[in-house]
Structure 1
Amino acid sequence: MASVNNTGCKASRLLKVFSLRIIKDGGAQEDPFELGERRWWLMIFEVASSLLFGSIAVYAHAQKDGGMSDAQKLQKIFANCGLNKKEDGRVVTNRLLRKRRHSWGTEYIYRIPLGNSLEDYEKKIGAIQDGLNNKRRQLEVNLKAFPHMKQMLTKKKIHQKQVELSYDGTLHVKVYNHSIPSSFNYSEISENLHGWTVPIGMDRENMTFHNFDKIYHMLVGGATGGGKSSFLDMMISHLMQQHPEDVRFTLIDLKGGIEFDRFRDCRQVVNYADEPEDALTVLQNVVEEMKKTLGRLKEMKARDVIAANIKERHFIVIDEIGELASHKEVSKELRAIKEECEYLLSNIARLGRSQGIRVVTATQHPTVDVVPVQLKRNSDARLCFRVDTTSASMVILDAPGADQLPEITGRAIYKRGSVRTVLQTPWMTEKEMDEVILQNYIEKTEEAAADEPPSRNDFALFEETSLSH
């Protein structure tokens, strides 16, 4: 009963506190207890009202200074970047045709002025993205701090919006509300992979894979420290793990042997080179293997290894292809060796796919004279990490964009056909790679003497056949 009475007393006091009582001159004196409690509640009310009206003021300022919609911001960005055109004395703007909302964000579709190209907008993608993220801040109340009256407001930055551009007769500007993950571990891949499929990376929502039995060769580029070599290590380890009995590798490591040496004694590695002279020998070995496989296919009357149900696949992985560029070589003898390597590689890429040969070529110096034309032409899959210049991006992707990638290790653009996807490539830890290598390590004894390499005129395999198309 005592507690009930106390509760009743407190309730009556609260009623008195919140009652409007105006005591004029000559009125009664207030109880000191009631006066103190009233002042405490008035202080709370004052703080709360200050927060409310302060929030309204901040919101009004935001609306005035930076509260434009993304569509309005895009129009201003286009104008400030010089993407509008003058025609007959009037300004022709980028006309917004449609706006589509998606689970990932918003897509804006524009009719662009005559004379503009997709490349013009891709060169400005950094300005477009930064402009959309300009002054994007919000205020939120930290309720846990409220009882202690400390740090009542905290600033929290909204997720950075990211932009992708494409063109199909109209310009599509995709504004994503969520960023691509800045790191992604190989062990996080939950999909059950089949065939000759390799994980390429994660975009904002989905995992992207590459099937080497559909697109046979891949060109990889990227500046130092971008994640190119880590991707190659992951790919080799993945293929060893998935196909320990059926995959074979020719590894050509022209960066002093520092990248692929860890795989050298794995049973799947049938050829290894770390100097141009050795590269020539191992490429000649691959040609001999191609001849044997071609003979098997003829006997089976099959067009390729897939039709013949031959399980083995042979991957030639080269890092750094620039070291085989003959035009840079001063030594006459080495220049001849490198010319031969370029010749062999170009023809292996052109003819080897039917015999189960897959070529993955990497460079950190993407220039037009580094990658052999025939090799690039037959590499329908491209993966480009961040590069320093637009021209370097053009060499790998035939489009700009890789020069605009953020400085995040593992961030790349994957191109398959005409479709380009920005993604985060998976990272395989040293421990994970060591486990794969340990399972496939063999202690090599005496190496068999290498066969005498055939002369260049002996490569009848490189004549045009029905298998080369």
Structure 2
Amino acid sequence: MFSVFAYTSIAALTAAVFMPETNMSYKRRLSIIFRRTGFLREYRDLYGNLKQGLPKYLGETTAGNYAEYSYSIPLGNVLSESLEKAIVEAFDVPVKVYAEGGRLYVRFYNENLPENISYAKVPNRGGYVVPIGKSLDGWLFHNFDKTPHMTVAGATRQGKTVFLKNVLTYLSERHGEDIRFYMIDLKGGLEFGRYAKLPQVVEVASDASEAAEVFTKLRQQMNETMAYFRDNGYTNIVNTPIKQRTFIIIDEAAQLTPEPFMDDEEKKLMQYCQWCMAEITRIAGALGWRLIHATQYPTADSLPRAVKQNADAKMAFRLPTELASRVAIDENGAEYLPNPGRGIYRTVDRQIVQVPYLSDEEMAKRLKLTKRSVITWGELGERRDDRVRTNEVPTENDRDIIEFE
């Protein structure tokens, strides 16, 4: 009863909303969608009768690659998932829908995201940031000093491991002396084992037993670091002179999920690993630890609740089902991503990006260039198998030097 247009059937109305005529203006199509979805404001006419009308149109903004329409959000309404979906699916151009400050914004782009972007095109940024990818609004970066932990999900060959390699390469190129990596590569070490001798990589674990050993060492380091922070009155590494950051990257984390067919000892091992992951995300972010939890198919078992709750950054590549998408990023959409490397990055907001492609050959070439000759991690522990282990947080006065060939 809210429509101002007369249609002979519901099917005709639906067609007008979701498959509008090409010569219909964006503004008119949006008006139809608002009426069809009940996104309306209430007002009283001259006779005091309560009426419903379209949300107030506030204007149009144009830029180089988009036109944006803004509306006031009627009292009692919100930008719902169904409204966003109705708007996005009604147009044959890329559309971004978002709400901010009591206003609804609908942005229409005049270009599509490319299906492939070279890592060589990634801009240089300072700080402990990594490129998430390129969106229609430009390059998007994640700052690990602001949001320490991240979950990553994606089906086989959809871009998850390439993204992890971007993280390793970008940080190593820019922070070679201040970064440590613990790689838990549960593909048997096939993806990251080749980088075990890089000076930034402390250890590579290739199965659950090795992962448990790494977590045990990390727990010890966390306790020592926490005592160091207490002694020096530190509460967050960001507000200290300490430059070192420790990244724990777990690829195929579902391999650490206890299964019914396992014996008790194996289950306990898996549960211990999951508890350690949760402990890192709960308390170690302020100490300089950053955990990236990656899995092919996220479930409530393979993505522990404590890890998900404490990892405020979420990245999803294409997933097989809506359920998997909701587990990964708390909403659907990842099941519809069109090509490898296309992802949804979510913190408070949601961004669709194309992750830059980095080949193994280019990665190896770049990391050779960043092999450093000195490290300043403070009092260093033993050096074994060309890997450096340290149990102490560095200070400004540390000048320990180890030569690498």
TM, length-normalised to structure 1: 0.66
Contact 2:61–2:67 under 8 Å retained in 1: yes
Aligned equivalent of 1:10 = none
Q: Residue by residue, what CA displacement relative to the aligned partner does 1:170-221 show, whole Å, maximum 9, x if unpaired?
A: 5433222222232221211233x22211111111232111111111111111
- C-alpha change, 1:100 and 1:328, in structure 2 (3 Å) is farther
Are residues 1:314 and 2:243 paired? no
Task: Give the whole-Å Cα distance in 1 for the aligned partners of 2:95 and 2:21.
Answer: 23
Contact 1:246–1:311 under 8 Å retained in 2: yes
1:413 corresponds to which of 338, 344, 362:
344
- C-alpha change, 1:188 and 1:254, in structure 2 (3 Å) is same
- C-alpha change, 1:255 and 1:95, in structure 2 (3 Å) is same
Contact 1:110–1:170 under 8 Å retained in 2: yes
* 4+ aligned runs moved over 6 Å, structure 1: 91-94, 112-116
Secondary structure at the aligned position of 2:343 is classed as: strand
- C-alpha change, 1:243 and 1:78, in structure 2 (3 Å) is same
Are residues 1:422 and 2:347 paired? no
2:212 corresponds to which of 280, 303, 307:
280
Per the TM alignment, residue 358 of structure 1 is displaced from its structure 2 partner at its CA by 0.6
- C-alpha change, 1:310 and 1:65, in structure 2 (3 Å) is closer
Are residues 1:267 and 2:223 paired? no
Aligned equivalent of 2:310 = 378
Are residues 1:107 and 2:40 paired? no
Q: Which has the higher contact order (CA 8 A, sep 6+)?
A: 2
Aligned equivalent of 1:185 = 118
> What fraction of aligned residue pairs are identical, expressed as a percent?
31
Task: Give the whole-Å Cα distance in 2 for the aligned partners of 1:108 and 1:387.
Answer: 32
Aligned equivalent of 1:175 = 108
Contact 2:152–2:293 under 8 Å retained in 1: yes
1:166 corresponds to which of 93, 98, 102:
98
Per the TM alignment, residue 329 of structure 1 is displaced from its structure 2 partner at its CA by 5.3
Secondary structure at the aligned position of 2:274 is classed as: helix
Write the letter of the residue equivalent to 1:184.
I
For 1:75-86, list aligned pairs within 5 A: 75-76=31-32, 83-84=37-38
Per the TM alignment, residue 119 of structure 1 is displaced from its structure 2 partner at its CA by 1.7
Are residues 1:230 and 2:186 paired? no
Per the TM alignment, residue 255 of structure 1 is displaced from its structure 2 partner at its CA by 2.1
1:213 corresponds to which of 145, 148, 155:
145
1:432 corresponds to which of 359, 362, 375:
362
Aligned equivalent of 2:24 = 68
Write the letter of the residue equivalent to 1:359.
L
Q: Residue by residue, what CA displacement relative to the aligned partner does 1:255-305 show, whole Å, maximum 9, x if unpaired?
A: 232221221221222122111111111111111111222232233222233
Secondary structure at the aligned position of 1:383 is classed as: strand
Secondary structure at the aligned position of 2:180 is classed as: strand
Task: Give the whole-Å Cα distance in 1 for the aligned partners of 2:295 and 2:228.
Answer: 34
- C-alpha change, 1:204 and 1:372, in structure 2 (3 Å) is same
- C-alpha change, 1:304 and 1:66, in structure 2 (3 Å) is closer
Q: Which runs of 5+ in 1 are unaligned?
A: 1-63, 134-160, 452-469
TM, length-normalised to structure 2: 0.76
Per the TM alignment, residue 92 of structure 1 is displaced from its structure 2 partner at its CA by 7.2
Task: Give the whole-Å Cα distance in 2 for the aligned partners of 1:320 and 1:92.
Answer: 52
Secondary structure at the aligned position of 2:284 is classed as: helix
Task: Give the whole-Å Cα distance in 2 for the aligned partners of 1:440 and 1:369.
Answer: 38
1:362 corresponds to which of 288, 294, 298:
294
Task: Give the whole-Å Cα distance in 2 for the aligned partners of 1:225 and 1:433.
Answer: 18
Task: Give the whole-Å Cα distance in 1 for the aligned partners of 2:287 and 2:170.
Answer: 22
Q: Which has the larger radius of gyration?
A: 1
Q: Which runs of 5+ in 2 are unaligned?
A: 1-19, 41-50, 373-382, 390-405
Q: What is the root-mean-square deviation of aligned Cα atoms in Å?
A: 3.2
Per the TM alignment, residue 229 of structure 1 is displaced from its structure 2 partner at its CA by 0.8
Per the TM alignment, residue 307 of structure 1 is displaced from its structure 2 partner at its CA by 3.0
Secondary structure at the aligned position of 2:162 is classed as: helix
Are residues 1:132 and 2:91 paired? yes
